[in-house]
A and B are shown apart, each in its own frame.
Chain A
Amino acid sequence: MSLTEWISEPVNWVFLVVGALVLLSAFRVVTAKNVVHAALFLVAALAGTAVLFLMLSAEFVAWVLVLVYIGAVIVLFLFGIMITRAPTGRDVGLDVEKRLWAGTLSLATFVLLSWASIDAFGSTRIEEVGEATSTEVLGLALLGRFVIPFEVVSFVLLAALIGGITIARRDLTPLEEEQRSSV
């Protein structure tokens, strides 16, 4: 379909606005000097992603993204930044020549991916349905067809929990151990 037809649909204006927000935030994530700013720009990028999911009628996944990613993962990142922040809070970064190589590689990846998708899915349209994917369908799928991956992912979370606690535990000094055992 031509550009004028595409622009004339209002849902595509929303897509352009949200897409611009997401790309701008993603660009600032990878170029922000301040570490905390980068994390907050990632919040904006993920919020824009959730809006895109809503546009694609995936309501449950959009809210799971907001809850888990923005609500837990980014908060964890901010804790990690707080604990490991360099005194000035800035990231030094690479020198210019290596940045050019990285920029070329990422540009080549983008060109390859978008050329492949345009070539394969030239004008496949997304039909807008009246209702979103219901949580009942997702629940039946998760506990029906995908029950084994679901259980495995639960196990992965348990392993991550135990592993995280074990890795980040602080071993007691002999003095503290003695104090603890004498109480």
Chain B
Amino acid sequence: MLLNQFLILAAAMFSLGIYGLLVRRNIVLILLSVELMLAAVNINLIAFESVLRSPDATGQVFAIFVITVAAAEVGIGLAIVLMIFRNRKSANVDELHLMRW
């Protein structure tokens, strides 16, 4: 197995996540694209760890932290989406422009 095959796969997933982040209008789908990007970053971390083989598995520990922080972020993000939906009955980001100058 080459290192590059994993890196290129992760790069493809990351760019698909960027596309989804820019194109989608529903907030929940934007959060889904962010999760896709975080998964791509995890692939990168684990691939580099399997090459470097550090004595205390640094890349894998970092990947565990990324998973944990992603879970916390999804929790808060969905709580915010819930409040927005309660107040406006719509989850469309185009309508969230009150703070725009």
Contact = CB atoms under 8 A, between A and B. Distances in A.
Interface of A: 1, 6, 9, 11-12, 15, 19, 22-23, 26-27, 29-30, 35, 38-39, 42, 45-46, 49, 52-53, 55-58, 60-61, 64-65, 68-69, 72-73, 76-77, 79-81, 83-84, 86, 91-94, 98-99, 101-103, 105-107, 109-110, 113-114, 117-118, 121-126, 128, 133, 137-138, 140-142, 144-146, 149, 153, 156-157, 159-161, 163-165, 167-168, 170
Given A77-B32, A86-B90, A167-B79, A56 B47 contact: yes
Given A133-B60, A138-B60, A138-B61, A118 B18 contact: no
21 contacts: A6-B2, A11-B1, A19-B9, A26-B17, A42-B36, A52-B9, A58-B49, A60-B60, A68-B71, A69-B71, A80-B28, A86-B26, A106-B15, A106-B22, A117-B3, A124-B51, A126-B2, A138-B57, A140-B56, A156-B72, A164-B75
Query: What is the predominant secondary structure among interface residues of chain A facing chain B?
Result: helix
A103 to B, nearest CB: 6
B78 A77 contact: yes
Contact of B47 (A77, A94, A126, A133): A126
B3 A102 contact: no
Contact of B71 (A72, A86, A118): A72
Query: What is the predominant secondary structure among interface residues of chain B facing chain A?
Result: helix
Nearest to B80: A167
Given A42-B35, A56-B46, A69 B70 contact: yes
Nearest to B65: A153
B96 interface: no
Given A42-B35, A56-B46, A93-B24, A23 B12 contact: yes
Nearest to B31: A77
Contacts of B35: 42, 46, 69, 73
A35 to B, nearest CB: 6
B11 A156 contact: no
Given A61-B60, A167-B80, A27 B16 contact: yes
Given A30-B19, A38-B32, A110-B15, A93 B25 contact: yes
A137 B1 contact: no
Contacts of A81: 28
A122 B93 CA distance: 42
Contacts of B25: 91-94
